[in-house]
């Protein structure tokens, strides 16, 4: 978590006004009056609306449209994978069946198959927007960052989690969690808080791992006043973690020449 920022104070002092600056005594009030008149006119014409709201609305619409598109493609990908699995199960032959058993055995640890079982649900959230905070409080301390989510995920893995999901999306070894503005981007889709992390596995060992993690403890230090970040930890007897439905091919750079 970033530290607080403090503004340096300025030394106060008095200065005498020379006779050559007397014309400014008249010019400055006139200029201020004109500026106030322009501001009042602008406010009246806008009638309390944002004069640049169109651009913000367009950006919000674009983000929402792209998110819906990515989610639709994800559903299509899962449906196609189900068809592939169904067709593969109908293929006969000793070599094919042996290869299919190997695929089935590796699909679970690779995160390509869903999991059902007991586990933990961890929820992280930004501080309430309507809370009264000290004026000099760093606003970065009032929001959830990617390192906070990563700290929880790493602790759960350390505690023996068999599978994790964030916002309903399976987390695998190639999953990137990136903070963009006040949202977290997961597999190309932006998500707003609260962030819900589901972990299937032994609840007791995962709980102990969360308690032992200094990074998780650092986040929890900001749960109380005056920061009031959101933190919830609940064990459940039956949880579902979906299978990974994103691309499995890796893209990497190669040296030129």
Tell me, yes or no, whether 204 lies in a domain: yes
- Whether 33 is covered by a domain: the verdict is no
Domain co-membership, 120 together with 225: yes
What is the mean pLDDT of each successive set of 10 residues along the chain, which is 257 residues long?
A: 38 38 52 60 50 53 72 75 73 66 65 89 94 84 94 97 94 85 83 95 98 98 93 97 78 75
Q: State the residue range of the domain holding 67.
A: 54-105
Do residues 197 and 94 share a domain? no
Report which of 209, 212, 187 is spatially closest to residue 199, judged by C-alpha positions: 209
- Asked if 130 and 217 sit in the same domain, the reply is yes
Q: Which of 83, 105, 127 is the last residue of a domain?
A: 105
CATH number for the domain including 219? 3.30.70.1880
Considering the domain architecture, whether residues 93 and 156 belong to the same structural domain is answered as no
| 219 and 122, same domain (yes or no) | yes
Q: In what order do the strands lie in the sheet with 163-166?
A: 169-171, 163-166, 195-200, 115-125, 230-241
3-state DSSP call for residue 55? helix
R_g (Cα) of the chain, nearest Å: 28
Model pLDDT, residue 186: 85
> Same domain, yes or no, for 134 and 155?
yes
Nearest to 169 by CA among 184, 148, 156: 184
161-192 b/e with 16+ CB inside 10 Å = b?
bbbbbbbebbbbeebebebeeeebbbbebbbe
Query: Which tokens is 129 given?
Result: 């927007």
Residue 188 shares a structural domain with residue 220 = yes
Q: Both 190 and 143 in a single domain?
A: yes
- Please indicate, yes or no, whether residues 188 and 101 belong to a single structural domain of this protein: no
First to last CA, the chain: 42
Which helix (H) or strand (E) element contains residue 208? Answer: helix 203-212
Please indicate, yes or no, if residue 139 is contained in any of the structural domains: yes
Residue 4 lies in a domain: no
Residue 32 within a domain: no
Residue 178 three-state SS: strand
CB 166 within 8 A of CB 197: yes
Helices (H), 159-197: none
DSSP 112: -
Does any domain span residue 186? yes
Check whether residue 168 and residue 63 sit in a common domain. no
Identify whether 200 is part of a domain: yes
Q: Which residues contact 143 (CB under 8 A, 6 or more apart)?
A: 126, 127, 182, 193
Which backbone phi and psi does 105 adopt, to 5 degrees? -70, -35
Helix (H) or strand (E) holding 181: none
Give the integer Cα–Cα distance in Å for 248 and 251. Answer: 10
Quick one: 183 and 230 in the same domain? yes
Residue 251 domain flag: no
One domain for residues 123 and 212: yes
Total domains, the chain: 2
């Amino acid at each position: 978590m970033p530290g607080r920022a403090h503004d340096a104070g300025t030394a106060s002092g008095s200065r005498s006004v020379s006779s050559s600056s007397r014309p400014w005594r008249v010019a400055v009030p006139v200029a201020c009056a004109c500026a106030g008149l322009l501001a009042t006119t602008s406010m009246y014409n806008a009638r309390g609306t944002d004069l640049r709201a169109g651009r913000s609305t367009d950006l919000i619409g674009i983000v929402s449209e792209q998110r819906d598109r990515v989610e639709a493609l994800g559903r299509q990908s899962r449906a196609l994978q189900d068809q592939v699995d169904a067709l593969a199960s109908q293929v006969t032959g000793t070599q094919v069946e042996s290869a299919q058993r190997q695929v089935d055995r590796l699909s679970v640890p690779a995160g390509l198959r869903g999991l059902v079982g007991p586990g933990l649900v961890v929820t992280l959230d930004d501080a309430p927007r309507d809370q009264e905070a000290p004026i000099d409080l760093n606003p970065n301390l009032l929001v959830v960052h990617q390192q906070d989510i990563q700290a929880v995920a790493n602790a759960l893995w350390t505690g023996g989690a068999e599978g994790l999901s964030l916002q309903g999306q399976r987390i695998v070894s190639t999953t990137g969690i990136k903070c963009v503005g006040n949202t977290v981007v997961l597999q190309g889709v932006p998500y707003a808080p609260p962030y819900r992390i589901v972990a299937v596995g032994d609840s007791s060992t995962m709980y102990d791992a969360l308690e032992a993690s200094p990074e998780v403890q650092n986040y929890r230090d900001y749960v109380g006043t005056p920061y009031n970040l959101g933190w919830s930890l609940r064990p459940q007897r039956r949880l579902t973690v979906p299978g990974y439905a994103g691309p499995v091919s890796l893209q990497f750079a190669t040296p030129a020449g």
